[in-house]
Amino acid sequence: MYNKEALLRELEFQFALSGGPGGQHVNKTETKVILIWDLQKSGVFSASQKERLQQRLASKINSEGLLKLNVSKTRSQHQNKKIAILNFEDLVKKALQKKKKRIKTKPSRSAKLKRLQKKKKNSEKKANRQKPEL
């Protein structure tokens, strides 16, 4: 499929101050991880795979062609980095999967009969609600 190690070498990481839990510690350590990946410069994927990734991840890729993921779930920079890498791998894996083609099926004979019986019963119910004709 693709080489994970080579893909991970293409990633860039930036760190920033993070909000959330941590008290005063938050104000002095950069625990937020920003994962940056340039899809077009990637040497891991073929042209067709890049095209599929571009289409499927269009909402996450900015105007410069960079995919950016921000993670600030934990107080630890290392944990956030692991989470960012796992999220990134999951995104790429899902984007590369081909959708299964839908196979059209016909309703079974019993399903058709049930539908017709239900329609008949419903029409009788509504007919009984009307005023009788004299």
In a domain, 123, yes or no: no
Whether residue 101 is contained in a domain is answered as no
Is 18 inside a domain boundary?
Answer: yes
Count of the separate structural domains present in the chain:
1
Average pLDDT over residues 89-102: 92
Residue 72 and residue 18 in contact, taking contact as beta carbons nearer than 8 Å: yes
- Residue ranges making up the domain that contains 39: 4-96
118 assigned to some structural domain: no
105 assigned to some structural domain: no
Q: For 14-60, what is each residue's pLDDT tens digit?
A: 999 887 667 777 778 888 999 999 999 988 999 999 999 999 999 99
Measured CA to CA, the distance from residue 42 to residue 57 in angstroms comes to: 15
Cα–Cα distance measured from residue 72 to residue 82, given in angstroms and rounded to the nearest whole number: 11
Residue 75 has pLDDT above 90, yes or no: no
CATH number at residue 88: 3.30.160.20
Does residue 108 lie within any of the structural domains?
no
DSSP symbol at 83: H
Query: Taking the complete model, does pTM exceed 0.75, yes or no?
Result: no
Distances (CA, A) of 47 to 52, 67, 89, 110, 128: 9, 17, 19, 49, 67
State the pLDDT at residue 115. Answer: 97
Q: Is residue 38 part of a domain?
A: yes
The pair of structure tokens assigned to 16 is 């920033």
Residue 30 lies in a domain: yes
